[in-house]
Structure 1
């Protein structure tokens, strides 16, 4: 099973959607807690659904079940928390939510969308790695 990840910051809409379209992903799975920030540019509110369909011919889903809680997010972002602490808290939270019980077929071929340009310090990587650890046959492809 392939699971893609992508971030939109530091990317033009053209570069973002070209990478996505060429990737082989079948849908965008938005794993942001809040997708309404003005800073999101072409990736805010209902825009990604429209662009995914019109430009890439793929589905779009906002999957808040794969997002951190506001408390976990605030501690890391607003209070300049430690990445390792954030990662541990979020991994524990995913385990409590049992995200591995989500429909595999609904996630197969999907591309986890978040804001960070690189996956290194982004929760979309943590989600992909968590699922790989539970399902074993997941190939993670960071775009």
Structure 2
């Protein structure tokens, strides 16, 4: 299978100008929002409708919300609100992706020129990285991932 370039990015701990410059510089054609909730007032410039507008105007990129790639409220709350263990979060989310059979419901081609978006500033403890790792495991390493 041909390698597909995909990026990931978080929007916290950065300015709007720095965020959009990274997206633009990377040549992203589509931002795939993998947050469960994409309309929070706390998201600032990354609220769904505003983000779609800014991406189109500033970067010429499309915006897609893909909650299939988001953890459930229960998984999120156990980790974030209750300050849970990352290993438990990771195991729970990987199990969820397997139950959802995301590798069958999505095609690798849909990620071409794409960038997975969530809130975490770094990918280390973020589900966007886990999505890429899970899919690469199922798709024989088809995704070439760059964390912006």
Into which bin does the TM-score normalised by the smaller protein fall?
A: over 0.9
- Relative to the length of structure 2, the TM-score reads 0.93
In the alignment, what sits opposite 1:137?
142
Query: Matched residues in 2 for 1:90 and 1:100: separation?
Result: 14
Query: Matched residues in 2 for 1:52 and 1:40: separation?
Result: 15
Residue 19 (structure 2) pairs with residue 19 (structure 1): no
Shift of 1:7: 0.3
Provide Cα deviations, 1:9-35, integer angstroms capped at 9, x if missing partner. 011110000000011221000000001
In the alignment, what sits opposite 1:38?
41
In the alignment, what sits opposite 1:57?
60
Residues 5 and 143 in structure 2, CA contact (< 8 A), matched pair in contact too: yes
Query: Matched residues in 1 for 2:24 and 2:53: separation?
Result: 14
Query: Matched residues in 2 for 1:7 and 1:77: separation?
Result: 16
Superposed structure 1 runs of 4+ greater than 6 Å apart: none
In the alignment, what sits opposite 1:113?
117
Query: What are the ranges of 5 or more consecutive residues in structure 1 without an aligned counterpart?
Result: none
Residue 8 (structure 1) aligned to one of 8, 11, 25: 11
Residues 34 and 117 in structure 2, CA contact (< 8 A), matched pair in contact too: yes
- Relative to the length of structure 1, the TM-score reads 0.97
Query: Matched residues in 1 for 2:107 and 2:136: separation?
Result: 14
Q: How many residues are matched?
A: 143
Q: Secondary structure at the match of 1:95?
A: helix
Provide Cα deviations, 1:15-61, integer angstroms capped at 9, x if missing partner. 00000001122100000000111111100131111011111001100
